[in-house]
A and B are shown apart, each in its own frame.
Chain A
């Protein structure tokens, strides 16, 4: 496998092969090399998720190595269709178990994080979502001022979290939260309208 100039980012001859194809190759011949190619696509994301839960760089690094080992030893037992969703679940569960074993289990972590995530949305759904938001001018007015502002700036004016934070004096965390809650409330409003028709 060749590496490019930047360390940590290897462009390799397998980059044109999809996750699904790599998975089928692995299930066909149980050659762990396919798993290696697949897993390295997610190293950075796994590192981030582990760091989010474990809040320690060394422990996060160890967690990624342990998740790799778990996948190498156990993937052949399961028929996985969406590798990205599956490995996200494995990583979260591993971190939560680590926290539980060390007595650092946070009550805020709900059972939801331990369940299998839903299948990923397609690009078509993303496009439909954006189009729906564009048409939601009246629905937006029903949100509270903070959510209305953040959703408008993010989706309609395409501002970054940083820009919205500077403009609104909310922290970036508050901006993210207002956007997430605003989206959820818009969905509820639209569903209510749909039921009312």
Chain B
């Protein structure tokens, strides 16, 4: 099996892995399924540390909500620059400047009219 394929499979399984982790933490797995998760933990220091920490959360049912919230904030952060780029693009649109010029002309004309007919 190529490294790329393994990598892809490990990420296809990522959602299943997180789901399984939650089930493991909530003790919803059979002994055999729990053993499979623990075997992964024994070979994966990151996962082992993570499970140790997650087990200390008081309310494990809120974990998925917390993860969802963190992911939402993350999405906002990573989309931020894109919005700024879009704003810059907006400013570069020629109609934007045309509208500005027209407004300026209108202001000047209005000023001249007011000056001539109301004051002059």
Q: Is the interface of B mostly helix, strand, loop or mixed?
A: helix
Q: Given B19, B63, B74, which contacts A40 in the complex, CB threshold below 8 Å?
A: B74
When each residue 145-158 of chain A gets 1 if its CB lies under 8 Å from chain B and 0 otherwise, what string results? 00000000010001
Q: Is A121 an interface residue (CB 8 A)?
A: yes
When each residue 100-124 of chain A gets 1 if its CB lies under 8 Å from chain B and 0 otherwise, what string results? 0000000000000000010001110
The reply to whether A158 and B32 contact each other, CB–CB distance below 8 Å, is yes
Q: Within the assembled complex, what's the spacing in Å between the Cα atoms of A126 and B43?
A: 8
**Interface range for A:** 35 or more
Give the contact stretch, choosing among B2-10, B86-94, B103-111. B2-10
**Interface range for B:** 35 or more
Q: Is B77 an interface residue (CB 8 A)?
A: yes
Q: Please name 22 pairs of A and B residues whose Cβ atoms are closer than 8 Å in the assembled complex, sorted by A.
A: A6-B64, A8-B64, A8-B66, A9-B15, A10-B71, A35-B78, A36-B74, A36-B77, A40-B71, A41-B14, A44-B21, A45-B46, A47-B54, A48-B52, A48-B53, A50-B53, A53-B53, A60-B53, A69-B77, A84-B46, A160-B34, A162-B31
By a beta-carbon cutoff of 8 Å, the part of chain B in contact with chain A is: 1, 3-4, 6-8, 10-12, 14-15, 18-19, 21, 31-32, 34-35, 38-39, 42-43, 45-47, 49-54, 56-58, 63-68, 70-71, 73-75, 77-82
